[in-house]
Amino acid sequence: MLRIYANFLKEHASEQENSVQSYIINHQKIWLKKASQRHSTWIYLPLQWFSKLLGLSMLAPVPNHGGEEAIACEISRIKTLKKLDIHVPDILAHQNNAFILKDASPNGEPVTQLEHALSIQETSEQRLTLFSKAIKALENIHQKNSYLSEAFARNILVGTDQEFSFIDFETDPGQYLSLKDCHTRDWLCFIFSTTHRFEEHELNQASKLLVNTLKSNPDVFNDICRVGRKITWLLKLKPEKLGNDGKRLTKCISILKMLNNQRELNYVS
């Protein structure tokens, strides 16, 4: 069977127009991902300056070099995480410029991105329960002294049984950041991409769920709160007027302020 995937990869990688495309082989959904254009280093300069200006090393950009280098990085990261029993897709075949992944859905059951899964929960209780499970899933990765690449909700998949799997590993933050900064970065990406799905009256409870986990790692918790304190001034610019990303940033800063308040209240240092 593996030879079938290897042959399919060899035949289709060069002719596939999109960088990522799904196929069905023997009733199994697969994804073929091929090398894409190298990312320009210029796009990382503003974030690099921002991180240095504020003294926030965890916000330093992690370059995506694209091409075969990104393919090799993703294959390596998936194999590393797989050894730690972290739910990532199975690699069915690979070559220098492309690889095939087994779809993350178990037994053909549907999966959805965490961001969407949060949005379709019918009650606050259901939304907060799913959020709590996602927090524990990320904590589990960190407890294994590992980290994700881009811990945004779009890269966290939720199955019908609310089990989580993780995708998109074209970058390796550990090549540029300390393990503590990698963990802090994961939490900031996670918070930014999930908390906008909560109503204002739900944010306080969501922040308490985060505190319950983060207080077990005071150094990371302190850094997250430090980021919040240093970027609060952005609220004066009314970022919510800048569209969806601005609204996400507003919610993110609001919950970071709540985290800091609860940290100080509970004397977590």
- Checking phi first, is residue 241 left (phi over 0); if not, alpha (psi -120 to 50) or beta? alpha
Do 118 and 195 fall within a single domain? yes
Do 70 and 116 fall within a single domain? no
The Cα–Cα gap between 154 and 196 comes to: 13
The Cα–Cα gap between 92 and 64 comes to: 23
Do 16 and 46 fall within a single domain? yes
With a CB cutoff of 8 Å and minimum separation 6, the contacts of 158 are 111, 112, 113, 114, 117, 130, 134, 164
- Write out the residue range of the structural domain in which residue 195 sits: 108-265
| pLDDT 10s digits, 68-126 | 999 999 999 999 999 999 999 999 999 999 999 999 876 667 889 999 999 999 999 99
| pLDDT 10s digits, 219-237 | 999 999 998 888 888 777 7
C-alpha pair distances (Å), 2 with each of 5, 23, 90, 94, 99: 5, 15, 12, 10, 12
Number of domains in the chain: 2
The Cα–Cα gap between 175 and 12 comes to: 32
Do 129 and 88 fall within a single domain? no
Specify the pLDDT at position 256.
92
Contact 153, 114 (CB under 8 A): yes
Do 199 and 76 fall within a single domain? no
Contact 71, 93 (CB under 8 A): no
Higher-scoring residue by pLDDT: 108, 184? 184
Q: How many C-beta atoms surround the C-beta of residue 196 within 10 A? A: 22
Q: Which one of 80, 106, 132 terminates a domain?
A: 106
Rg for the chain, CA atoms, rounded: 19
Do 121 and 195 fall within a single domain? yes
Calculate the average pLDDT of the chain. Answer: 88
Residue 165: name the closest of 156, 154, 174, 175 by CA: 156
Q: Which one of 106, 131, 161 terminates a domain?
A: 106
Do 113 and 29 fall within a single domain? no
Helix or strand holding residue 159 (H, E): strand 156-159
Contact 208, 259 (CB under 8 A): no
Q: Compute the average pLDDT of residues 178-205.
A: 93
Do 124 and 150 fall within a single domain? yes
pTM equals: 0.90
Q: Which one of 90, 106, 122 terminates a domain?
A: 106
| pLDDT 10s digits, 27-68 | 889 999 999 876 555 444 445 555 666 677 777 778 888 899
Do 23 and 91 fall within a single domain? yes
The helix-helix angle for 244-265 and 179-194 (nearest 10°) equals: 120
Do 17 and 117 fall within a single domain? no
Sign of CA dihedral 136, 160, 71, 2: positive
Do 146 and 24 fall within a single domain? no
Q: How many residues belong to the chain?
A: 269
Do 112 and 235 fall within a single domain? yes
Contact 255, 203 (CB under 8 A): yes
Share of the chain above pLDDT 90, in %: 64
